[in-house]
Structure 1
Amino acid sequence: MTEIRHIVFDIGRVLLHYDPNIPFSRLIPDAEERKWFFDNVCTHDWNIEQDRGRSWQEAEALLIAEYPAHAENIRNFRRHWHEMVPHAYEDSVAIMLGLIETGHDVTLLTNFAADTLAEARQRFDFLSRPRGVTVSADIRQIKPDRAIYDHHVAAFGLEPSATLFIDDSQKNVDGAKAAGWQAVLFTDAKTLKADLERFGIAA
């Protein structure tokens, strides 16, 4: 196994908590109605296109044309985004900062809309501590597509086989492995610490 010289973190659900149900439990109190809204209106597939670089204005306009009765809650998705990201995972952040402080090369690779990541970076200082970040919306490529991993390698001068990727999505982990990276699925900080030690990295 190649010695790990680069460590790449995902952000959402690895370093930051993310849950759209937090504001929408208040906005759509009925659980079945809320589930229908997320399954049919503000879906994962709709939201991922903002991560690919589509503007919120365009995204909202498309949905409002199709679901005019839900216009207010469609707008509420972006309007209340800050509530969906209420806190960081302090134990995961501590691992990342510890790696940086002990001299490891740490970067970030994330599926994120440009404006919401800018907002998150204002709220959470630690997001500016790694050497850099590849933001899907900025380059209009998203995980798990091969192109975004290759872009990150080129942008930061990484050797794929010496790179360890940490992500909460199995698809994204598999995408990294297909690009020649080492990768682990994030579940919690304790497991991450054990995974890092397995690669010979003290955390």
Structure 2
Amino acid sequence: MASKIDTIIFDLGGVLIDWNPRYLYNKIFEDEAKTEWFLENICTGDWNERQDAGNTLQAGTEELVALYPDWKNEITAYYGRWTEMLGGAIEETVEILRTLKEKNEVKLYALTNWSAETFPLALDRFEFLNWFDGIVVSGVEKTRKPFADFYHILLKRHDVVPDKTLFIDDNERNILGAESIGIHGIVFTSADKLKQELRDWGINV
């Protein structure tokens, strides 16, 4: 496939940054089964995404504590000990990003579902976040993937052409959201597979 791609957009969590609430809650609970129950029933992914979409951490925490007062300490830990959910950089994917940056053949952006309040902590920790030509953060924009308006913010702000753009995300739901507005998508499963898929698009990595 001849490359017509001039822009690559990366998701962050699960692609470049290893973030997982289990890193924290496996310390809090005595067994992994209890961690899984808690994350499926109390501090759920849907609840976390409300903060990613602009709800404040304090409001989100207070709302959940009001519903489940017996779990106050565990709920409060979610954002109070948030940095313990960061497992580090996914180095193999960071190396792909580094190669793309050094070759300077495509523009590089990040589009992330992330709270505006916790994202500065990631900026301080991960130097490679400075390699992007721009980063669009859901908590700042008050919307998130997979909603079309969130992708359009990046396209308009950075004058990006959808049909010349590849979006990489580990969540197929978010890829489908991008494809619905004409952006090409790659579902991330591993750095090796990503490297091959980029080459299939004619991109040198």
TM-score bracket, shorter-length normalisation? over 0.9
Residue 66 (structure 2) pairs with residue 70 (structure 1): no
Question: Structure 2 residue aligned with 1:199, among 185, 198, 201?
Answer: 201
Deviation at 1:150, TM superposition (A): 1.0
Deviation at 1:36, TM superposition (A): 2.1
**Paired position in structure 1 for 2:43:** 42
CA distance in structure 1 between the aligned counterparts of 2:158 and 2:6, rounded to whole angstroms: 12
CA distance in structure 2 between the aligned counterparts of 1:79 and 1:61, rounded to whole angstroms: 13
Deviation at 1:30, TM superposition (A): 2.7
Deviation at 1:33, TM superposition (A): 2.5
Question: Structure 1 residue aligned with 2:167, among 165, 168, 173?
Answer: 165
Matched ranges for 1:77-156 at <5 A: 77-103=78-104, 104-156=106-158
Between Structure 1 and Structure 2, how many residues are aligned? 203
Amino acid in the other structure paired with 1:108: A
**Paired position in structure 1 for 2:184:** 182
Moved more, 28-37 or 180-189: 28-37
Structure 2 residue matching 1:165: 3-state secondary structure: strand
Q: Please give the per-residue CA displacement for 1:133-155, whole angstroms capped at 9, x wherever unaligned.
A: 01011111110111111111001
Q: Please give the per-residue CA displacement for 1:95-141, whole angstroms capped at 9, x wherever unaligned.
A: 11211111121010000001211100100111111101010111111
Any gaps of 5 or more consecutive residues in structure 2? Answer: none
Any gaps of 5 or more consecutive residues in structure 1? Answer: none
TM-score when scaled to structure 2?
A: 0.96
Amino acid in the other structure paired with 1:42: C
CA distance in structure 2 between the aligned counterparts of 1:160 and 1:150, rounded to whole angstroms: 9
Over aligned residues, Cα RMSD in angstroms? 1.1
TM-score when scaled to structure 1?
A: 0.97
CA distance in structure 2 between the aligned counterparts of 1:15 and 1:35, rounded to whole angstroms: 24
Identity %: 35
